[in-house]
Amino acid sequence: MNIYWLQQSEADLPATDDWLSENESARLSSFRFAKRRADWRLGRWTAKRAVAANLRLPDDDRTFKQIEIIPASTGQPEVTLSDHPGRVPISISHRGGFALCAVALGEVELGCDLEIIEPRSDAFIVDYFTQDEQKLIVKTTGQERSLLVSLLWSAKESALKALHVGLRADTRSVEVGISDLHGDWRVDNDGHDLECDLPSALSNISGIHWRSLQVQCASGSNFCGWWQRTSNIVRTIVATLPPGLTRASGDSMIKLTGSDAWSARP
């Protein structure tokens, strides 16, 4: 299974709305607040470009008008495209003038999230993280703490989107484990000690490589996932395994393709 991801910024948006369908234009005009309109517009633009790239469709306004993205009853975005009757799972996230979209094909549940790496209060951590996650966080300080908290929070948001519940659910109902950090850091879900010093393992994490994570849910669902940090942004994507696969261990099963700027199609 392939997952295509794309990140766009407000600077990438066109000046006009010719790429929106009639229904989408009506929805855009219904928003009262400028920030809500701007976030929604950027998210839709990013999603349409990602869907077009995943399906190898033309990258133009005419195609984008035909790719209609509407909210399902759960609030999650759904893709409708007359020439492609199959399901196209997507997830959208926006923060700080950027939007991220992940796209797959077939029967897979998918979630993505983009977060700005920034300090979070002790109260935030106590309220929203499990006991085992808090044990990891307390081992960090400074920039490493901000990165870890942002990463765990982002993965939770991705998982709750994949479950189609969003932040209506208790964020402690999903627990994040990170099993690939420079290949030498493993988090034991039973709360055992780390195999290496956490702050050292988190230092200087940046670049194009995606690293793996897992999410265990109180409902019994489990997700494989990936995370990537670029500058002060952390991205996460989670997905259910394709039929017939029992575990995810690397890119041989699920391949991530995409860019934080528009690039040639895969």
- pLDDT one-digit tens code per residue, 202-232: 555 555 678 889 999 998 888 999 999 988 9
Q: Where are the domains of the chain?
A: 2-107, 112-239
CATH class for the region spanning 2-107: alpha beta
Q: How far apart are CA 27 and CA 188, in angstroms?
A: 45
Per-residue pLDDT tens over the stretch 77-113 = 999 987 777 789 999 999 999 999 999 887 889 999 9
pLDDT higher than threshold 70 for residue 156: yes
Buried b (16+ CB within 10 A) or exposed e, 101-120: bbbbbeebbbbbbbbebeeb
Give the C-alpha distances (Å, rounded to integers) separating 1 from 224, 235, 253.
13, 20, 7
112-239: CATH homologous superfamily? Answer: 4'-phosphopantetheinyl transferase domain (3.90.470.20)
The answer to whether 2-107 and 112-239 have equal CATH topology is: yes
